[in-house]
Amino acid sequence: MIEDEKELVKGMAQYLRQESYVCEIAYTASEAREKIMLFDYDCILLDISLPDGNGLQILYELKRMGKADGVIIITAKNSLDDRVTGLNLGADDYLSKPFYLPELSARVAAVIRRKRFEGNTKLSFKEITIDLLGKTVLVHGGHVELTRKEYNLLLFLVSNKNRVVSKNAIAEHLSGDDAELLDKFDFIYSHIKNLKKKLTEAGAEDYLKTIYGLGYKFAA
């Protein structure tokens, strides 16, 4: 994590460590340069505006060294130019502040999956198997018919397994800007209900737990 805001990066690290990721933090561009030279990372979270340099410069150097580290750009600017430049320089994803930690976690998971498990495109949670390439879900080897939204929801929840994910985070993940209109969350609720029903009907255990009015948790 290359980010100068200590409190922010602390929270990010704490959340990601719950997923058993090993996190290292660099607060400055020079610290970051030292670390990327010495080690290979599965995923680098890169803030663009650093006190001693531009994050895009680090990205450029990384790619010039021929490193295959996954990179997610994190920026407060959310400017189209930065996004285009970043992605052109070889960043894998782009996340603008403020973001939900479950969203970050899901993006990190996606990047790591792409980088590490080349060829192996299946993600499993107990008896549930998600085929990332075919975008299909199997329970005990049997096919479960899910809508696009339900599939995305399941993937999001599994990426944040064992952690509470708020309804807002889910709404934003599923609907993007349209989440603004979803004040009553009936929308999320119906997707959750359908997903739960389809999974249990296919023979899976009910892993989807409601945490008060707050959100949901996918846990064994």
Partner 1 sequence: MRLLQLSLRSLLLYALVLVILSIPVSFFSISEILNEETDETLDLQSSQFLSHLGNFTYLDDLETDLEVLDHLSNNIHIYPSKGRHVPRHFETISVFDSAEQEYRPFRQISSSVTIKGKPYILSIRMSLVDNDRLVLAISLVQTLLIVLLVAGLLFINRSLSRKIWKPFYSTINQLKAYELDKNKAIEPEVTHIVEFDDLNKTVSALTDRNRKVFLQQKEFIENASHELQTPLAIFQGKLDLLMQSPTLSEADAGIIMELEAASRRMSRLNKNLLLLSKIDNEQFLEKEEVEVGVVLGELLVNLQPVAQLDHIEITYHAHALNVHCSKPLLEILLTNLIHNAIRHNTAGGKVDVTIEERALCISNSGPPLQMSTEKMFERFSKETANAQSTGLGLAIVKKICDTCHFELTYRYDYGHHFVVRF
DSSP letters, 90-120, are T-SEEEESS--HHHHHHHHHHHHHHHH-SS-
Least distance to partner 1, CB of residue 119, Å:
33
The two tokens of residue 120 are 């192996």
Q: Check residue 30 for interaction with partner 1 (CB under 8 A).
A: no
Q: Are strands 128-131 and 136-139 parallel, antiparallel or unpaired?
A: antiparallel
Q: How far apart are CA 40 and CA 29, in angstroms?
A: 17
* Residue (65 or 214) nearer to partner 1, CB: 214
Among 100, 156, 207, 218, binds partner 1 (CB under 8 A): 100
Q: How far apart are CA 126 and CA 21, in angstroms?
A: 20
Q: Check residue 54 for interaction with partner 1 (CB under 8 A).
A: no
Least distance to partner 1, CB of residue 198, Å:
17
Among 24, 76, 121, 140, binds partner 1 (CB under 8 A): 76
Q: How far apart are CA 10 and CA 184, in angstroms?
A: 32
Contacts with partner 1, residue ranges (CB under 8 A): 5, 7-8, 11-12, 14-15, 18, 76-81, 96-102, 163-164, 166, 168-169, 175, 177-178, 180-184, 186-187, 211-215
